[in-house]
Structure 1
Amino acid sequence: MRRGRRRVRKRTWWQLMVVLFGLLVFAAAVGGAAGLAVVKSQINKIPRVSVGLSLSFEQQSDSEARNFLLVGIDSALGVDPDSPIHNDRDINTLLTDSVILVRIDPEADRVAMLSIPRDLWVPISGKGWSERVNAARGIGGASTLIETVSDFLGVPIHHYVEINFAGFLRIVEAVDGVPVEIAQSIRDDSVGLRIEQAGVVTLDPDAALAYVRTRRPLTLIEGGNPANDDDWVPLGVWNDLERNQRQQEFMVATLKRAVEKGIRNPLTLRRVANELLDGDSPSITLDDRITLGQIVDLGDEFRSFRVDQIERYKLPVADATIDGKQVLLLVEDAAQPALEFFRAGSLAGVRVRVLNGNPSGTVAGVEDALERAGFSVVERANADRFDVGITMVRYTVAFEDEAQELARHVEPVPRLELVAEIDGADVELVVGADYAGVSGTPRDSAS
């Protein structure tokens, strides 16, 4: 089915580099043969991992939404022996230090990220038992990690990207450090992190890696002496959710820095790519199914994409102890709205404005019902009149499919109304006197 979303306007040449926890996904928009040569020569250097059979084949075309599983490997292979990252570390470890699901939707001009806590307790695919998600790769390789995440969260995974600590360090070095807003002093001796002053700090490679990895940070009490260990107290509650938030913030900051440093220029792109790919050991790996053409097309779709448009999601979890291990359990009902957005082939996640057109009714419960069904409510307000008898779904030509999808969830069948323009939302739901609710299971047809 043709998606109704607007096509991204193609303006000037640019290179979309999705850098997430230092993970580099080349998505190159090429304006000429020279640019194509840069992209092709660099991408061909990237090692591939054979996981094709574990990836989803649901995607119908390169313009449709796809999910990337981006994985940071807890390995210090290739890192300077003097780096603090080697403290109490086996260079051959196969634990995943960061797992991030990224949805790229060219037709909707949207990029979203979902951090998956490393301590999330999941059934290991094909094994018959459960473990923390960060152990899945070590148990059965990249394929097992892909299948475990996909099966447990119910989301398709179309591509896989993996990077180790050396790759992360090289990216930060290539953009001359990453400026980060530090709200308050932060310290974690176990990873070599120490920033005593709040404010904007440009993190060098070692500091950047320590910043995104810290799990037990301390902060200096007001008026405290930095040299006195007793003046440093725990910062936050020391859980994976806080660390995930820092990682997401760092991802966006890295992207902004890359653009500021001229990543849209082919010569700059070559330099950054060389930083990442050169060396005795590979620091980044791609799946064996993604092609050069797909990468180039992806970048071409996102010529006008702005870094601050990246959407951030998190999984609702609860602390638990299983077999003596401190783990996190997914709160499944609360997680569904976020997960629906990452389920390719679904129009759930559509941005809806809810308008009250019935003076004797209320839209207070409508928002919750829509979000439970997977839609995103961006605003709740009054309609332009209060005598609406039949509930309506308003839409523009570009969002006809989204309107049809919403109508399939609303009880009873609403009226579809084509309008010239809707600002700030994909569709509008005008709640009338006949409104009876929102169903989590759509009808076969909206009519």
Structure 2
Amino acid sequence: MKKALIIAGIIMLTVVMGIGGYGYYMYKSVQGTVDNKMHQPLEREKSEKRFEVVDIEQAEPLSFLLLGVDAQDSTRGRTDTIMVVTVNPADNSMKMLSIPRDTRTEIIGRGFDDKINHAFAFGGAEMTVNTVENFLDIPIDYYATVNMNGFKDIVDALGGVTVDNDFAFSSGGHQFNEGEIFLEGDQALAFARMRKQDTRGDFGRNDRQRQIVMAIIEEGAQFSSITRAGSILDALGDNVLTDVSFDNMVKIQEKYRSARHNMETIEITGSGTRIDNIYYLVVPEEERLRVSGELRTHLGLDEDSSSVAAVEEEEETANN
């Protein structure tokens, strides 16, 4: 029987869809879950940072914004996790950047500077996408949100994940030993959320979150048991929203899946400061430009080019 698509986890869903499956019924089940529960397009037709919508058929480099929301659903609250993933199939590579939630930047649509994770509370995924695009000067082609309960459910549906822990600590009623450890859903959530015992603060937590994400990718890519398919679909359908359509998921799986074998993590650094007695992470302009340039290069964009919106504004001014 022809193999069908099985969604193997939130990151797999948006970046490197896994093929497993056992026939037409499973294919239709996945399609129904995506189209009826998970698919939530943004109002905009395309990013203002691109002249044209990214062409998946031609395997053009593309980007995803992955958001972990600290609420019971994926449509409100603040984003505890903000990750940008760029994928370049030409060299089979991925880059993953975690943006610290306290990063101070302009909230697009509000007209003032604030913590970047407040954008979701103000205007949901659309405002967060626009804010991250402005901060990094790159197009965000697709987004996905998962609530923190969903994070736990997805790990459980996959049967758990394995990570390499840098140092021993306790959090959320769980003990995490140093070295390679196996995590079930509750443990994975506590592992990903801890920051107070880490001298690196948000940066250490970001590293642990990236480990969980990569573990989900690897576990999902190796997933082959039909007995877990229903649990995975339930976990995704109940907890994930994305603007990736089912048809595009199939195309992304075909064109981009091998890129998961070459993943590089990027860090963005800054200094903590208080403004009006509120803590922010302030990223120096040269650091922001460094990270922006690396991501733009990976996406095949000219590092010195202006945004599409700026170019269009210049053309309109010239015509007038």
TM over 0.5: yes
Match of 2:199 in 1: 236
The structure 1 residue matched to 2:229, chosen from 259, 270, 275, is: 270
Q: Give 1:27's aligned residue.
A: 17
Give the Å deviation of 1:272: 4.6
Name the counterpart of 1:71: 67
Deviation at 1:38, TM superposition (A): 4.7
| Normalised TM-score (structure 2) | 0.80
Aligned match of 1:296: 250
Q: Which aligned pairs between 1:63-212 and structure 2 lie closer than 5 A?
A: 63-76=59-72, 94-188=77-171, 192-195=172-175, 197-212=177-192
SS at the partner of 1:103?
strand
Pick closer, same or farther for the CA change 1:346–1:249 going to 2, 3 Å. closer
What letter corresponds to residue 72 of structure 1 in structure 2? G
For residue 283 of structure 1, what is the aligned residue in structure 2?
Answer: 239
1:99–1:304 CA distance, 2 compared to 1 (3 A) = closer
Matched, 1:250 2:212: yes
Shift of 1:36: 4.1
Compare relative contact order (CA 8 Å, sep 6+) and give the higher one, 1 or 2: 2
Q: Displacement, 1:322?
A: 1.3
Distance 1:77-1:36 versus aligned 2 partners, 3 A rule: closer
Q: Are the equivalent residues in 2 in contact too, given 1:54–1:146 (CA < 8 A)?
A: no
What SS does the corresponding residue of 2:117 show, helix, strand or coil? helix
Q: Is the 8 A contact 2:4 2:23 kept in 1?
A: no
Aligned residue number for residue 318 of structure 2? none
* Separation in structure 2 between the aligned mates of residue 236 and residue 165 of structure 1, nearest angstrom: 24
Unaligned runs of 5+ in 1: 1-11, 79-91, 218-234, 350-372, 375-447
Which residue identity lines up with residue 270 of structure 1 in the other structure? A
Report if the CA contact (8 A) 1:155-1:344 is conserved.
no
Q: Determine helix, strand or coil for the equivalent of 1:258.
A: helix
Letter in 2 for 1:271: G
CA distance in 2, matches of 1:64, 1:150: 18
In 2, are the aligned partners of 1:59 and 1:66 still within 8 Å (CA)? no
Q: The residue matched to 2:146 in structure 1 has which SS?
A: strand
User: What is the TM-score when the length of structure 1 is the normalising length?
Assistant: 0.59
Larger Rg: 1
**Stretches of structure 2 lacking an aligned partner (at least 5 in a row):** 305-320
Q: Please, what is the CA RMSD of the aligned residues?
A: 3.2
SS in 2 for 1:52: coil
Q: Deviations over 1:92-139 (max 9, x none)?
A: 961111111111223332222111110000111122211101111111
Q: CA deviation at 1:201?
A: 2.0
2:93 touches 2:263 (CA, 8 Å); kept in 1?
yes
Separation of aligned partners in 2, 1:61 and 1:45: 24
Residues 290-369 of structure 1: matches in 2 within 5 Å? 290-307=244-261, 309-343=262-296, 347=300
Could you tell me how far apart the structure 2 residues matched to 1:178 and 1:102 are?
20
Q: 1:94 to 1:37 in 2, by over 3 A?
A: same
Q: Which amino acid is 1:203 matched to?
A: L
Instruction: Measure how far apart 1:194 and its partner are.
Output: 3.0
Tell me how far apart the structure 1 counterparts of residues 108 and 213 of structure 2 sit (CA, whole Å). 29
**What SS does the corresponding residue of 2:138 show, helix, strand or coil?**
coil
Segments of 4+ in structure 1 off by > 4 A? 12-20, 28-33
Matched residues in 1 for 2:283 and 2:178: separation? 34
- Name the SS for the 1:27 alignment partner: coil
- Please say if residues 113 and 313 of structure 1, whose CA atoms lie closer than 8 Å, have aligned partners that are also in contact: yes
- Between the aligned partners of 1:271 and 1:32, the Cα distance in structure 2 is 12
Q: Are the equivalent residues in 1 in contact too, given 2:163–2:182 (CA < 8 A)? A: yes
Per-residue deviation, 1:310: 1.4
Q: Secondary structure at the match of 2:132?
A: helix
- Specify whether residues 318 and 55 from structure 1 end up closer, same or farther in structure 2 by C-alpha distance, changes over 3 A only: farther
**How many residues get paired?**
295
- The 3-state SS of whatever aligns with 1:162 is strand
CA contact (8 A) 1:13 1:303 kept: no
Deviations 1:205-249 (A, max 9, x none): 1111011011212xxxxxxxxxxxxxxxxx424x21111111112
| Amino acid paired to 2:246 | L
8 Å CA contact 2:65, 2:143 repeated in 1? yes
Superposition deviation, residue 314 in structure 1: 1.5
In 2, are the aligned partners of 1:29 and 1:300 still within 8 Å (CA)?
no
Aligned with 1:68: secondary structure?
strand
- 1:180/1:296 CA distance change after superposition, 3 Å: same
> What is the deviation of 1:334?
2.7
The one-letter amino acid of 2:67's match is V
- Closer, same or farther in 2 for the Cα pair 1:273/1:41, shift >3 Å? farther
CA displacement 1:128-158 (0-9 Å, x = unmatched): 2111011111112221111111112211111
